[in-house]
Structure 1
Amino acid sequence: MTRMSPMGIVLAFCGFSALAQTPAEVTLTRLDCGNGVTSSDIAFFSDTNAYDGKKQELVVSCYLIKHGDDYLIWDTGYPAAVAGATATGPTAKFNLVEQLARVNVKPEQIKFVGVSHYHGDHIGQAGSFPQATLLIGKGDWDALTSTPPPPGANPAPVKHWISGGGKFEAVPRDKDIFGDGTVRMLDMPGHTPGHHSLLVRLKEKGNVLLTGDLAHFRENYDSNGVPVFNTNRADTLASLDRFKQMAKNLNATVIVQHDPRDIEKLPALPGSAK
């Protein structure tokens, strides 16, 4: 019998491990979850009066991440009831289920619904994917299930999971969603207690960081602006510092999800970044 040397055993084991942990192919697609609207006064996006009387166009964007044969929806926009409607606020031209149909993805194929935080323009259509596991920051989950919920926290869109009808995970810190480092929820509290951003590692485009509502437009991101409605100023600034350090170290493309200038960095449906 041929014996393998200790070094050979190590090399063989390392080769096996590398093979076993080969990341799946990942793609990232931008979805339309709210048409652009120009806010006539964005003063409330700064607690230092940086934007008094200024205007800013904002959009609502959601994202489809394909990981091998599995799918993750990141943020779910406004409720489907307002999708396509004419209203004073931003609305989506098509709801998420209709958009996914364009790339032959059915609601039951969505394995995870990840939400950056509990505000209505980010969890509105979560209920369209009842078979999915809901991933939400623990601080936000605690707020949604408290009696009564705090201002701005509407539990109705995720009542399916609150009532025990579906699987969920209240994420306390960072989470490696698929276990291979390609898609990570990042603990970035401050906007809400359990706010998270998302890192997606793509083979061709490289690293992409989705802000959630860590910042709402480029100028606020660049200046470390803190909206008056954030739940914790110190946490917001700490999260911005961590996020920017990660963006620098990973040479990442930063997508400020509400800024129409930023979301154009990613292809819209049916295209995808790889």
Structure 2
Amino acid sequence: MKPYFLAAASGLVLAACSGSDTAPAVDPEAALETLTETEEAPVEAESQGVKLYTFDCGTIEISDIGVFASDGSYDGLSDTYADGCFAIVHPKGTLLWDLGLPGGLAGADPTTNGIFTVSLSRTLGDQLADAGIDKIDYMAISHLHFDHTGQPEAAGDAMWIVHEDELAAMQADTETDFSAFFAMDHMTFSGDHDVFGDGTVTILALPGHTPGHTSLLLKLDNAGPVMLTGDMYHRQESRDRKLVPQFNSDAEQSLESMARFEELAGELGARVIIQHSRADLAALPQPLD
């Protein structure tokens, strides 16, 4: 049985897309042309003038955030989460990181299902156009949840880079329509993945929230090391206290990934961006370089 969080989220997606056309079912095994590689994060990074653009990919109001802490710390509390998407512009290409809430929500009234009320002001595609980003070469999602996979159309014909364990989890999920992803050209990886081969943009394998959850490490010329959490943490308190959500796929793995994340952040002196933190996203210049 799906945890309540995921069941409610599926309801929100259906509500958001109820008025739009449905993509035809695609056989993931037949549709995908796969490259597979295994690699580790490089130790040294060359300076390449990488830029980080941040986009507002939705707002998530939660009437009871109790499910975001297994120890009961958040029971009865409410909060409002941001939902950030990012474009990393590199001399060798542009990577789109996370896809936010479904584009069908854009400009519509907020949609409520259970404890969640979601809304979206503008589509990711429109925001990319405003930023002058007209071509996406690569796309990666931190994980498979609805608030990170909502606008695959924004990626165009980009190559989808996906951790092999997350792809397997998506293929095994019979309740969620991932056909738009399965229709994309893609490459899988295990371990970490150095996107451009120079150490400036590295996808970190940090499972536990989902089987193939990932975070992103950037090494920028002026800002220095920056780490985008994915859903390693949803709130600053969650990071401070290492709180594990009730719906994580593996609690022990989550704690191990948190430890690795913090070790890397400490060694590098990295700026950590919690992707659901309104304060963290609001503090980012456009672009950060």
TM-score over 0.5 for the pair: yes
Structure 2 equivalent of residue 27 of structure 1: 51
Q: Is 2:165 the counterpart of 1:139? A: yes
List, as ranges, runs of 4+ consecutive aligned residues in structure 1 with deviation greater than 3 Å. Answer: none
Give the distance between the partners of 1:261 and 1:129, measured in 2 at CA.
26
- The equivalent residue for 1:52 is 75
Give me the whole-angstrom Cα distance separating, in 2, the residues matched to 1:86 and 1:79.
13
Q: Per residue, is there more strand in 1 or in 2?
A: 2
Largest Rg, 1 or 2: 1
2:46·2:199 contact (CA, 8 Å) conserved in 1?
no
Q: Does 1:115 align with 2:141?
A: yes
2:136 and 2:156 in contact (8 A); partners too: no
What does residue 125 of structure 2 align with?
Answer: 97
Query: 1:246 corresponds to which residue?
Result: 264
Taking only aligned residues, the RMSD between alpha carbons, in angstroms, comes to 1.6
Counterpart mapping for 1:1-274 below 5 A: 22-35=46-59, 37-68=60-91, 70-88=93-111, 89-106=117-134, 109-146=135-172, 149=173, 154-156=176-178, 159-163=179-183, 166-267=184-285, 271-274=286-289
Query: What secondary structure, in the 3-state scheme, does the structure 2 residue paired with 1:143 have?
Result: helix
How far apart are the structure 2 equivalents of 1:262 and 1:90? 19
Q: Residue type of the partner of 1:31?
A: F
Q: Identity over the aligned pairs, expressed in percent?
A: 35
In structure 2, C-alpha distance between the alignment counterparts of 1:226 and 1:134, rounded to whole Å: 28
Amino acid at match of 2:190: P
Asked if the contact 1:144–1:155 (Cα under 8 Å) also holds between the matched residues in 2, the reply is no
Aligned residues: 240
Q: CA offset at residue 150 of structure 1?
A: 6.4
CA drift at 1:259: 1.1
Structure possessing the higher relative contact order (Cα contacts under 8 Å, 6 or more residues apart): 2
Give the conservation status (yes or no) of the 8 Å contact 2:234–2:275: yes
The whole-number CA distance in structure 2 between the counterparts of 1:192 and 1:227 is 11
Paired residue secondary structure (2:259): helix
Q: Which amino acid aligns with 1:95?
A: T
With normalisation by structure 2, the TM-score equals: 0.79
Query: Does the Cα contact within 8 Å between 1:60 and 1:90 map onto a contact in 2?
Result: no
